Amino acid sequence: MDKSRQSLPLAGLKVIEVAQGVAGPHCGRILAAMGADVVKIEPPSGDWSRSIGPFLGEDENIESSATYQYNNSGKKSVLLDLSVPKGISTFTVLVSEADILIEDWDMSSRALNGIEKDRFTKLNSSLIEISLTPFGLSGPYSHFTSTPIIQLALGGYLYLTGLPGKEPLMLPGHQPDYLTGLNGNGAVQIALWERDQTGAGQFVEIAMMETLATLHQFTMEMETYEGFIRNRNGNLWQKESAFANYGITTIECVDGHICFGISTEDQWERLCMMIGKGEFLEDPQYATRSGRRSLATYLDSLLSEWVGERTRHEVMVEASEMWGLPTAPVLGISEVLEDAQFLHRGLFTEINHPISGKAHFPTFPFKTVDMIPDLSRAPLLGEHTSEVIHS
């Protein structure tokens, strides 16, 4: 282990990750980047995320999955067939010496493989076991199968995105998994904090559906406090309720779209001044937030006129610097990679892979000079089997 890795805060911690896909591996990626030794257990066919697109390089193969490579950076890959006795006994030895186990066994796979809930925490009392499943280990949905759209639907996210009356739209990629992986990392850090004081490990269960249900700003409060269904409203906010507002909207520019996020009274006042409609501040039609919201179509047309033939960047600079209004261009994927702010921040890093070549991956949203995350390439399938099993 090189010296800079040794100085990272999670150095010395042994993590066994048997979870596949995105949620568990994303959690493990963070632990590995902060210094932990993460051993990824893969079945003979590999983590299922190795088989899904998009792929990197020219060929679609089990080493070139973008999802796999992103979420398994810096780990060791060990092939183990847990469906045979020898596999499970080797796995048990590894877990008995580990600090953290990240698994995704739902009730069906636990029943199938005969893994009772307290099996590993009983065996190793200082073990922190993080269970990441779509619906958790109890309740009427615990046997459900799902993909991201189902998790978004039951977690209350799907209903809120899209045009009114039209099909609700999903968030891209694997958002419920990513959120649950981040929640999993929080759980690991909380449990480690407690273990540092008591020496005791614990079993921590996290369900994707519950993760999403805790990540709503005021969705449920619109019902419990005001009695409104919270609707999807395209790029606007809802007409009804205390959260009605104008100024969260998306406007077309010559080179794409720009998003405005005007939410406070002083921002509304500056918006009126910016579009040359200072008289609105005296007009009773615009006195209330719901009043403004009901005139959104007209206000959008005025804002559009003000935007005129300008680019997204020109609009952002003027609205932000002269008027102090929150705006941002709606960037496409290749534009995000080249955005000046993200480049300045070093948000992306290039990692080379022996099979698929070079690609740019996000680092982390946080920056600190005292803990530099260590990101390296994802392992080949079974690359570290002999190193880990025979050492």
Partner 1 sequence: MSAKRENAQGSLAGLRVLDLTRVWAGPLATRIYGDYGANIIKISDPRVPLINPNGLNSKLNRNKKNIGLRLDKTNGRNIFLELTSVSDIIIENFRPRVMRNLNITYETLARINPHIIMCSMPGFGLEGPYSEYPAFGTTAEALAGIPSLIGYDSSLPISTGVAYGDPVSGLNAVGILLTALRHRNITGTGQFIDIALAASPACNLGEFFAANSSNGYKPTINGNKSEHYSPHGAYKTRGEDQWISISITNGKSWKAFTEIIDNTILNAEDYCVFENRKQDEKLIDAHISDWFASKDAEEVMFQLQNRGISAGVVSNNRQLLSDPHLNERDFFVDMNEPLFGVKRYDGQSIRGNFKNKSDWETAEDVGESSKEILMELLGYTSDDCETLEKEGTVLFR
Of 299-358, binders to partner 1 (CB under 8 A) are 316, 320-321, 324-337, 339-342, 344-345, 347-348, 350, 356-358
Q: Single out the segment in contact with partner 1 by CB under 8 A; choices: 39-47, 243-251, 278-286, 289-297.
A: 243-251
Name the residue nearer to partner 1 (CB basis): 272 or 325.
325
d(CA 350, CA 119) in angstroms, rounded, equals: 41
Q: Does 122 bind partner 1 (CB under 8 A)?
A: no
Provide the minimum distance between the beta carbon of 90 and partner 1 in the complex, in angstroms, as a whole number: 28
E strand spans, 308-363 = 327-329, 348-353, 357-362
Provide the minimum distance between the beta carbon of 336 and partner 1 in the complex, in angstroms, as a whole number: 4
Dihedral of the CA atoms 327, 330, 335, 337 (nearest 10)? Answer: 70
d(CA 291, CA 286) in angstroms, rounded, equals: 6
Q: Does 1 bind partner 1 (CB under 8 A)?
A: no
Name the residue nearer to partner 1 (CB basis): 62 or 88.
62
Provide the minimum distance between the beta carbon of 23 and partner 1 in the complex, in angstroms, as a whole number: 11
Q: Single out the segment in contact with partner 1 by CB under 8 A; choices: 76-84, 93-101, 251-259, 295-303.
A: 251-259
Name the residue nearer to partner 1 (CB basis): 228 or 306.
228
d(CA 41, CA 162) in angstroms, rounded, equals: 39
Name the residue nearer to partner 1 (CB basis): 98 or 351.
351
For strand 128-133 and strand 202-207, is the pairing parallel, antiparallel, or unpaired? parallel
Count CB-CB contacts under 10 A for residue 182: 17
Q: Single out the segment in contact with partner 1 by CB under 8 A; choices: 92-100, 242-250, 288-296, 297-305.
A: 242-250
Dihedral of the CA atoms 70, 76, 80, 86 (nearest 10)? Answer: -160
* 192 touches 35 (CB < 8 A): no
Binder among 186, 239, 311, 380 for partner 1 (CB under 8 A):
186
Name the residue nearer to partner 1 (CB basis): 86 or 360.
360
Site string for partner 1, 193-212 (x = CB under 8 A): xx-xxx-x-x-xxxx-xxx-
Binder among 92, 161, 290, 385 for partner 1 (CB under 8 A):
161
Q: Does 253 bind partner 1 (CB under 8 A)?
A: no
Provide the minimum distance between the beta carbon of 86 and partner 1 in the complex, in angstroms, as a whole number: 30
Long-range CB pairs of 186-192, under 8 A, 24+ apart, other chains included: 187/130, 188/27, 188/31, 188/100, 188/128, 188/130, 191/128, 191/130, 192/13, 192/99, 192/100, 192/128
357 has which bridge partners?
353
d(CA 109, CA 97) in angstroms, rounded, equals: 24
Binder among 20, 90, 133, 146 for partner 1 (CB under 8 A):
146
Q: Single out the segment in contact with partner 1 by CB under 8 A; choices: 92-100, 234-242, 282-290, 300-308.
A: 234-242
* Residues in region 55-94 near partner 1 by CB under 8 A: 55-58, 65-67, 69-71
d(CA 66, CA 127) in angstroms, rounded, equals: 31
